[in-house]
């Protein structure tokens, strides 16, 4: 509660929280409030400009862009969140274990993550998709795996500070198992920077997911996934800009929202700036 209140006092945090709430609400309620079937063609209204009937206009088949954005929010945003959660969880555990164990194990794990991080995350995701085949879930997995090394790096650096603290030594002295020490003692105390990083990563995940769909490797047509919508609309750009503008703006708003939220959380959760930021 204290964090939430502090977040609301922070202008970036408040704006980010508002935008993200709006996006999450859309993702949950989108299909229920969409006025039209996102796949239904309206032959008489191809390339329509925004109007009362079609608030964001229609695309080249006369499909309602507003409904497509609303319904597509779920696949786009929830899949991005899922990808981030996979990457964050995997990365946090690897990082904490590596940082806590130290020595040769740490060396080995960190050199491997270095090697993986040397490959740009989009390229890495492309490689994974080439191996797994293209589908929306594989794209999520690919992005999750591509995000893991970065998260491992961050959680390891925090672990290195925490591992020498007294309560960890106390747990060791009590003879607790590795699993207990990692999960119960260290992980909860490294969680703040990981959450901040994770929030910002959501924005990257959405853009990477959109990029993969744009390249034809994620969602399959006629799914109203935003990146795919832009890819398909590209051919028709000169006849009507709306099929590109609407999903493009949606992606921008979500990305900005999660970035602002991440910035806000960083300010709030940082003990040095603290409550009186």
Partner 1 sequence: MTHTLNRRGFLRTAAATGGLMTLPGLVSMAQAQNITPGGTLRVGLNITPSVLNPMLLRLNSEYMLAEMLYSGLTTLAPDMTAQPDLATEWRANDDATEWHFTLREGVTFSNGAALTSADVVASFTKLLDPETAAPGSRNLGPIAKVEADGDYGVVFHTSAPYADLPVALTYPTAKVVPAAIIESDFDSLATTPVGSGPFRLSQFIADDRAIVEKNPDYYIEGQPYLDSVEVRTFPDAAGAAAAMLAGEIDLLNEIQPTDFARISEGAGIEGLRTPSGRFLDVVMDCTVAPFDNPKVREALSFCVDREAMVELVAEGYGTPGNDTPVNASYAYHADAPLKQYDPEKSKALLAEAGYPDGIEIDLIASVKPDYRSAMAVVLREMAKPGGWTINVKTMDHPSYLEQVWKKGNFYVGFYNMQPTEGTIFNLLFTSDANWNETRWNNAEFDALVIKADATTDHDERARLYAEAQAMMRAEIPALVPCFFDLLGARAEQVMGYEQNPRGANYALHKVWLSAGS
Could you tell me the CA-to-CA distances from 43 to 36, 59, 75, 233 in Å, in that order?
A: 14, 11, 26, 17
Taking CB under 8 A as the criterion, the residue among 3, 14, 24, 60 binding partner 1 is 60
Query: Least CB distance from residue 237 to partner 1, whole Å?
Result: 9
Q: Which of residues 184-203 bind partner 1 (CB under 8 A)?
A: none
Three-state DSSP at 38 gives coil
Q: Which of residues 97-156 bind partner 1 (CB under 8 A)?
A: 134
Q: Which of residues 217-246 bind partner 1 (CB under 8 A)?
A: 220-222, 235-236, 238-240
Distance CA 186, CA 182 (A): 5
Q: Euclidean distance between the first and final Cα of the chain, in Å?
A: 17
Looking at the DSSP bridge assignments, the partners of residue 240 are none
Total residues at interface with partner 1 (CB under 8 A): 20
The alpha helices in 2-120, defined as continuous H runs, are 2-9, 11-33, 65-73, 79-101, 103-117
Distance CA 260, CA 139 (A): 25
Under rule CB under 8 A, residue 272 binds partner 1: no
Query: Least CB distance from residue 41 to partner 1, whole Å?
Result: 6
Q: Which is nearer to partner 1, 11 or 221 (CB)?
A: 221
Q: Which of residues 37-56 bind partner 1 (CB under 8 A)?
A: 39-41, 43, 45-48
Tracing tokens 């929010």 back to the chain, one arrives at 73
Q: Which is nearer to partner 1, 120 or 221 (CB)?
A: 221
List CB contacts of 131: < 8 A, sequence separation 6 or more. none
Q: Which of residues 75-94 bind partner 1 (CB under 8 A)?
A: none
Binding site for partner 1 (CB under 8 A): 39-41, 43, 45-48, 60-61, 134, 216, 220-222, 235-236, 238-240
């Amino acid at each position: 509660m204290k964090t939430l209140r502090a977040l609301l006092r922070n202008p970036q945090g408040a704006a980010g929280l508002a935008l993200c709430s709006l996006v999450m609400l859309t993702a949950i309620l989108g299909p229920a409030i969409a006025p039209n079937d996102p796949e239904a063609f309206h032959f008489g209204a191809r390339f329509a400009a925004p109007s009362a009937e079609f608030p964001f206009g229609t695309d080249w088949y006369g499909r309602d862009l507003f409904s497509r954005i609303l319904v597509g929010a779920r696949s786009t945003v929830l899949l991005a969140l899922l990808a981030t959660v996979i990457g964050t969880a995997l990365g946090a555990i690897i990082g904490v274990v590596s940082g806590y164990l130290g020595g040769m194990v740490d060396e080995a794990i960190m050199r491997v993550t270095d090697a993986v991080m040397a490959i740009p995350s989009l390229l890495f995701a492309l490689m994974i998709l080439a191996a797994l085949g293209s589908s929306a879930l594989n794209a999520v997995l690919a992005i999750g795996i591509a995000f893991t090394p970065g998260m491992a790096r961050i959680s390891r650096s925090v672990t290195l500070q925490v591992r020498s603290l007294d309560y960890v030594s106390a747990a060791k002295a009590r003879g607790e198992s590795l699993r207990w020490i990692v999960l119960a003692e260290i992980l909860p105390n490294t969680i703040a920077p990981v959450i901040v990083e994770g929030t910002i990563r959501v924005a990257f995940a959405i853009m990477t997911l959109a990029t993969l769909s744009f390249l034809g490797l994620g969602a399959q047509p006629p799914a109203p996934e935003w990146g795919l919508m832009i890819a398909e609309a590209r051919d028709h750009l000169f006849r009507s800009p709306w099929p590109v503008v609407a999903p493009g703006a949606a992606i921008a708003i979500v990305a900005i929202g999660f970035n602002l939220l991440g910035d806000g959380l960083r300010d709030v959760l940082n003990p040095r700036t603290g409550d009186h930021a």
